[in-house]
Copies of this chain bind each other. A is one copy, B any other.
Amino acid sequence: MDFTKFAQGTFANLAEDKQQAIIRAALFEFASQGYQRASCNNVVKAAAISKGSLFQYFGSKEGLFLFVFGRFVGKVKAAVKEATARQEDFFALVQAILTAGLHFIKRYPQYFQMYLQVLFEQEVPRRRELLAEVRLFSSDYFGPICARAREQGVIRTDIGVEMVIFILDAAIDRFLQAYARPYLDAGLGLASLSEADLQDKVEELLVVLKNGLQPPGLYSGSRGKGQGARGER
């Protein structure tokens, strides 16, 4: 919860640049190694401080990690707040979040890499809690928004809200990951695109999310009943 508990204490009294050096070293380590593989020895080496000091400042590896992740959470919240400030239209909001995500990755690539490590790693202290803090497309945050969009007739009513959130989450998460980790992107080549081309891809993605993969003419009825034909039941 309170990731800023080191805001006062010995660490806070350090010169600004020394603090920055330590944060940078720790962030680099967690971003490149994840939590478990990250080595405090590497951090103290890179930050040019002694091991004893590091543990004096943060108490434990876990404390250091929570502190660094807390900084990330702060930056995310600020970015989201700004991006979603005045978006009325549902899909415009989705697009704004996606675009904000891309900008965030460009500005704070290391923080995002650290986030991905936490997302992919199993054994990370307070993992759920931490992820919940930055995950937008959760039922909590996005459920009401979807519900409202549904009432306004912007999204179809024959699929569940959970499915809407699920598909948005899957697409956007993957898109951001593909941007941040080129080898995940199966051929989109996002990482090497110009700003303008990237925006084109974003719009292309939104077209698919809105209208699907089938050509407009071929609308294949609502789900259930006859549609299946195949199995039994």
Contacts and interface: CB of A to CB of B under 8 A. Distances in A.
A180 to B, nearest CB: 13
Number of copies: 2
A163 B204 contact: yes
Contact of A212 (B188, B204, B211): B211
A101 interface: no
A165 B183 contact: no
Interface in A7-40: 34, 36-37
Interface in A44-81: none
A163 B139 contact: no
A210 B210 contact: no
A200 B231 CA distance: 12
Contacts of A189: 162
A201 B163 contact: yes
Given A174-B174, A223-B204, A227-B203, A233 B196 contact: yes
Interface in A152-201: 153-160, 162-171, 173-175, 178, 183, 185-189, 196, 199-201
A188 B215 contact: no
Interface in A200-233: 200-201, 203-205, 207-216, 218-220, 222-224, 227-228, 230-231, 233
